Chains A and B, each alone.
Chain A
Amino acid sequence: MMEFIIGHYNYWVAIFLMMVGFYTIISHGNLVKKIIGLNIFQVSVFILYISMSTVHGGSAPIITEGVKVYSNPLPHVLILTAIVVGVATTALGLALVVRIKEAYGTIEEDEIHQMDHSL
């Protein structure tokens, strides 16, 4: 049992981060905090991918003399792509928040709701 918990600790970290990120997105009314939550959520997926690419006893996937076992490099490459996508999403999200701040004068979700409904 202990071995199961300790042996999979990076997966536990991924799940924990996933939940923290997801909870932040749902619970916070501040638009910037939501973006932060989204980032944490995405990062947890990156960790998940990197964790599963590990091969026991494998070294980094760079050809070196004397090393026979390498970790799987494909998930690393996939995650590089996903990181780029994540950066683009964050940038676009923050740009929208700036525009929202200009249009409404606030970035609190409940205040924005109130302003839209009182119109």
Chain B
Amino acid sequence: MIQGHLSLLLVVIPLIAAPITALLPRGRLPWMATLTVAWICAMLAGIQLLAVVDGGVISYELGGWAPPWGIEYRIDALNAFMALIVSVIGAITLPYALLSVEKEIPGQQIPLFYSAFLLCLAGLLGITQTGDIFNLFVFLEISSLSSYALISLGQKRQALTSAYQYLIMGTIGATFFLIGVGLIYSETGTLNMMDLAARLPEVSALKTTHTGFAFIMIGFALKLALFPLHLWLPNAYTYAPTVITVFLAATATKVALYVMLRVLFTVFPTSFVSAAPTNDLFVLSGLAGIIIASIYAVYQTDVKRLLAYSSVAQIGYMALGIGLASALGVTASIVHLFNHALMKGALFMAIGALIFRVGTCSLEKLRGLGRQMPWTFGAIVLGGLSLIGVPGTAGFISKWYLVTAALEQQAWLLIAVILIGSLIAVVYVGKVVETLYFKPTSENNLIIKEAPILLLVPTWLLVFANIYFGLDTDLSLGMAERAVQALGVATR
């Protein structure tokens, strides 16, 4: 019985749990509830992935209304993989959240914090599950509104202004998406993605369709923080509470990338997309993002901001993979999406452990702490190596595939930029490692001890995942290849 409603339960459970959590008394009960829900979701997502892994498709009709009239949840390998990434990251973040949230969020707000967290989880999972493009907009807004609220809970007052900035940019992005959906609806009369895919070829010559496509792409490029539309991201990641930075960095932009892939490869016909200058724009913004955002990262004095700029650069690699528009390129993009969730999750968690002890993430004040917090420092080093793309880590696998995809098309410039980007990553990761380990500790930091075990275990879980998926690529690469098959990417 559960099997049949699996794809809906993934969304409904966190959605129902959110208001209940808000009503729970203070203390650890809200956390327990959220943890349980996140683990149930991760389990359901795992079962769902197993059900579609052999190329099967789950189609769930909401309320028994047959598509294209009713809303359909349509799960193939790509959806199921994305849902697994989101829910597993949620499940790993939550054990970490207990202490970190108690330290950063005032007691009376904790139930509301977890309630908003669950709403955000429900929204992100909803985006991955739904097969209806307007339903996707609604879930996008559920996840966005809750993430604005979560970001504004950061300790510094800049958290408020960055949440506001994100709200303005995010709403513009979402409204652009809404305009685009409206325009293609006016040409096709349908909102179901599969139905759209069937009807769009007839109207693909019309200007309205082109305009709608452009609005959808720009709208989601804002949500994805694709360079140069990334301005909200560094502030939001820097000032948000640690747990939220970890969760959003590993999931929110990834889900936006998923929507891009879905729209580009499932909804719109291949000939239409390749006739528009989409691929060139992806390559161009990818290249610019990798170089410029990486250089920005080098000059940051705040570790969280440094990693945030590095995130913009990593999104550039994913955009590059899409822009190559070959099966191999998109595979590389999806693998990097997965690996980047692992490495940024691990790094932001390790930085969060430093913040937990010191209360700041300015590099100047973290001098020499690596020697006092060896486990945290070890996590930063290994996560950093993965970010650079050293062989034996997950980062290497995705960059290897990206370079192979570029080689396939003899795009030498792209290969050069990918390598330069990695070299700049060596510089900024090196800067963090140097400050943490080789600089003398400032006097008032001498009493600082290793982070609590509850913070270290989730961090190291992600660090091990980084190494594991650098050696055994069955899950990451295998799933990405199946996802690309499900998308039906052909070499253009």
Interface residues of A (CB under 8 A from B): 22, 25, 31, 34, 38, 41-42, 45, 48-49, 52, 75, 78, 81-82, 85, 88-89, 92-93, 96-97, 99-100, 103-104, 112, 116
A48 to B149, CA, bound (A): 29
What does DSSP make chain A's interface, helix, strand, loop or mixed? helix
The complex places the Cα of A97 from the Cα of B152 at a distance, in Å, of 11
Are B172 and A89 interface neighbours, CB within 8 A? no
A-B contact list, 11 entries, CB within 8 Å: A75-B182, A75-B185, A81-B138, A85-B138, A89-B141, A89-B145, A89-B167, A92-B148, A96-B148, A96-B152, A104-B157
6 tightest Cβ-Cβ pairs between the two chains A and B: A103-B157, A52-B186, A85-B141, A96-B164, A100-B160, A99-B160
Are B145 and A25 neighbours in the complex by a CB distance under 8 Å? no
Give me 16 other A-B pairs in contact (C-beta within 8 A), A38-B172, A82-B178, A96-B160 excluded: A31-B164, A38-B168, A38-B171, A41-B172, A45-B178, A48-B179, A52-B186, A75-B185, A78-B134, A85-B141, A89-B141, A92-B149, A93-B167, A99-B152, A104-B157, A116-B158
- Interface residues of chain B: helix, strand, loop or mixed (majority): helix
B window 136-166: CB within 8 A of A: 137-138, 141, 145, 148-149, 152, 157-158, 160-161, 163-164
Q: Which residue of A lies closest to B69 (CB)?
A: A74
Complex Cα–Cα for A99 and B152 (A) = 9
Complex: how many Å from CA A116 to CA B149? 21
Hey, which chain A residues are within 8 Å of B279, CB to CB?
none
Contact call B182/A103, Cβ cutoff below 8 A: no
Asked if A48 and B182 sit within 8 Å, CB to CB, the answer is yes
Nearest CB of B to A67, in Å: 21
Query: In the complex, what distance in Å separates the CA atom of A38 from the CA atom of B178?
Result: 14
Residue in A closest to B182 when the chains form the complex, CB atoms: A49
Across-interface contacts of B141 in A (CB, < 8 A): 85, 88-89
Question: Does B175 belong to the interface (CB within 8 Å)?
Answer: yes
Binding site for A on B (CB under 8 A): 134, 137-138, 141, 145, 148-149, 152, 157-158, 160-161, 163-164, 167-168, 171-172, 174-175, 178-179, 182, 185-186
Total number of residue pairs linking A and B with CB closer than 8 Å: 66
Shortest distance in angstroms between A80's beta carbon and chain B's nearest beta carbon?
12
Residues of B contacting A100 in the complex (Cβ-Cβ under 8 angstroms):
157, 160-161, 164
Distance in Å: Cβ of A71 to nearest Cβ of chain B: 13
Instruction: Choose from A45, A96, A104 the contact partner of B167 (Cβ within 8 Å).
Output: A96
The residue on B at minimum CB distance from A35 is B168
Complex alpha-carbon distance, A31 and B174, angstroms: 19
Please state if B157 and A92 are interface contacts (CB–CB under 8 Å).
no
Cβ–Cβ contact B161 & A112, under 8 A: yes
A residues in contact with B157, CB < 8 Å:
100, 103-104
Nearest residue in A to B157 (C-beta to C-beta)? A103
In Å, the complex CA distance between A89 and B140 comes to 12
CB neighbours (8 Å) of A41 from chain B are 172, 175
